[in-house]
Structure 1
């Protein structure tokens, strides 16, 4: 049975759209093995100032409540600071998804203060609390750099239960589902506090979607069919109504519109307005969602989204 056939008709379309998520480019200082964007230092795709201006106009027009900025390493877009500064003037909530290590790179050391000054919520990738697992997914030395960045964020007031929110992201290191989010959060908080004195607000568990570098590694190891069966067998109907595609639009670096970041990477355009310029003029943002079988990753087990578990 296909994924869409397992959904109730009312779940196949969007609810109230409150979030606009934008991918500002595929350039990144890392080339992680699980990256569905296949971002890296050699990528050149980047969102222009013109598209960013249109994003801001769409926010004004439709009164989005959250701007969710991702990449690549979104900080590497040359207009990134301008975008955040302008966005803070027109909407209440900005999220930036950071790989942490970029905050230590030359030319980016000011970003922690910049984030704090603009009250930006950070969602930071840390796929495990052990060096061995993090370096295996993200490259040698990334765990040490991530820990140093987290210490600096804590020193700036992030992750200490106040207004400056710091959330971490866990994703599995192989072809299996995440463990229970609450238990993993407790484990992360214990290990990071005891070993490094680090604090954070919440942990989000995200299931690896079989595309990009992760799909290629599964194909190479002969695990792709088994992983897809695992996702199908663990379909959770209670997670389906909360899928992130039902409450957001996704904007590519070129301004094209998608239901989610995963469809964006597959070039599966959303129904309705086709780019951010059409979104500005649109009267209605509701639409029928474009689904594929890799969407099982979002509803397997406790479910998965950019904000973690769904059920």
Structure 2
């Protein structure tokens, strides 16, 4: 089969608010009643892949041990990542969150947000990374941003771009700019075909409109208070590639064709979970992709893994080592097997935990590594 993800289509859901046009490839795993909607089934499918011919037989813990890392433990906490929920105006083919317009239940409420802020106050974390879904669709998004800015934190908004075109989001670029919020935007490619293949027909055109609005609000002009970062995921089963030449190519392509400027490009490996895992299985690519990840393991990435300087908080207040573990329902574990919740936040106990790992972790350690901030090395 082709190594491109299934092309998506533009549709509109009548059960949404009038301004919530949806770009969708297919229903979410949950809405479509896929067996992979169960994160434990995802873990089982990954465990069933035959990796006996790879180093350490594809066992991540043994691979760490082979490189003098007996356990993976956290370092200094720098980033508080808050996932506001799974509601999104898009259902992208590669989404590891399985977000979409039907995920209306899984959204963080005000009391949980306040608990996150109380926990944040107990740490020295300098950055609050707000993600989703489309985090902007959470009714308490602006409250959270204002509270974090008031605390002197650097705030990151992980934005799908098209959400900025919704009528009730029209002022958001200027609103975020006034608060110095860094915007990290998903854009699979600077050409239409690469983006629409992964994110849905019509997505590229809408993304370009949103980027132009961000530029008009002062983003992407080199101002450290108006940082605009683009994120690309490979289409198919290739590993992420990012270097100064590729970034220059992107900057030239967007500026020459659309007059768009941005500050930085980061590239992430596709994680073999959720909807991307579904595609890997349907295309018969799972075995080859997992072998590629394991064989590309780079020990130089371990020290810089995001799970070592980040805590990930789910919409319901549970605490995870990273966003990927969150989607696989692999909760962080304090000493004595306790599973922490944000309302019972204890920074000292969390600092003593051992980070939970699995087969999917090879996605972060392959090649130059992959984290929410891009390549690790």
Distance (Å, rounded) in 1 between the aligned partners of 2:284 and 2:168: 42
Q: Secondary structure of 1:61's match?
A: coil
Q: What TM-score do the two structures reach when normalised by structure 1? A: 0.97
2:290 to 219, 225, 228: 228
Q: Deviations over 1:186-222 (max 9, x none)?
A: 1111101111111111111100000111100110011
| Superimposed CA distance per residue, residues 51-78 of structure 1 (whole angstroms, 9 cap, x where no aligned partner) | 1001111111113211000000000001
Give the secondary structure class of the aligned counterpart of 1:135.
helix
Distance in 2 (CA, whole Å) between partners of 1:285 and 1:72 is 26
Q: Which residue of 2 aligns with 1:285?
A: 350
The runs of at least 4 aligned residues of structure 1 exceeding 6 Å deviation read none
1:106 aligns with 2:167: yes
After TM superposition, give the deviation of residue 136 of structure 1 in Å: 1.0
The answer (yes or no) to whether the contact 1:171–1:205 under 8 Å persists in 2 is yes
Partner of 1:307: 373
Unmatched segments (≥5 aa) in structure 1: none
Aligned to 1:73: 134
Q: Which residue of 1 aligns with 2:17?
A: none
5+ unaligned residues in a row in structure 2: which ranges? 1-55
User: Residue 36 of structure 1 corresponds to which residue in structure 2?
Assistant: 96
In the superposition, the TM-score normalised over structure 2's length comes to 0.80
Deviation at 1:106, TM superposition (A): 1.4
| 196, 201, 220: which one aligns with 1:135 | 196
SS in 1 for 2:185: strand
Q: Does the Cα contact within 8 Å between 2:122 and 2:347 map onto a contact in 1?
A: no
Between the aligned partners of 1:300 and 1:185, the Cα distance in structure 2 is 20
C-alpha separation between the residues in 2 aligned to 1:36 and 1:239? 21
The residue aligned with 1:86 is 147
Which of the pair has more CA radius of gyration? 2
Query: What whole-Å deviation, never above 9, does each CA across 1:76-107 have from its counterpart, x for those lacking one?
Result: 00111111111111132000100000001111
Give aligned pairs, total.
Answer: 310
RMSD of aligned residue pairs (Cα, Å): 1.2
State the secondary structure of the residue aligned to 1:46. Answer: coil
Partner of 2:248: 186
The one of 106, 111, 128 aligned to 1:50: 111
The equivalent of 1:206 in structure 2 is 268
Matches within 5 A, 1:159-170: 159-162=220-223, 163-170=225-232
Match of 1:298 in 2: 364
Measured after TM superposition, the shift of residue 277 of structure 1 is 1.2
Q: Secondary structure at the match of 2:236?
A: coil
Q: Which whole-Å deviations, capped at 9, do the CAs of 1:252-309 have from their partners, x for residues lacking one? A: 0000000001000010011125111121x44343121000011001010110000000
Query: How far has the Cα of 1:5 moved from its partner?
Result: 1.5
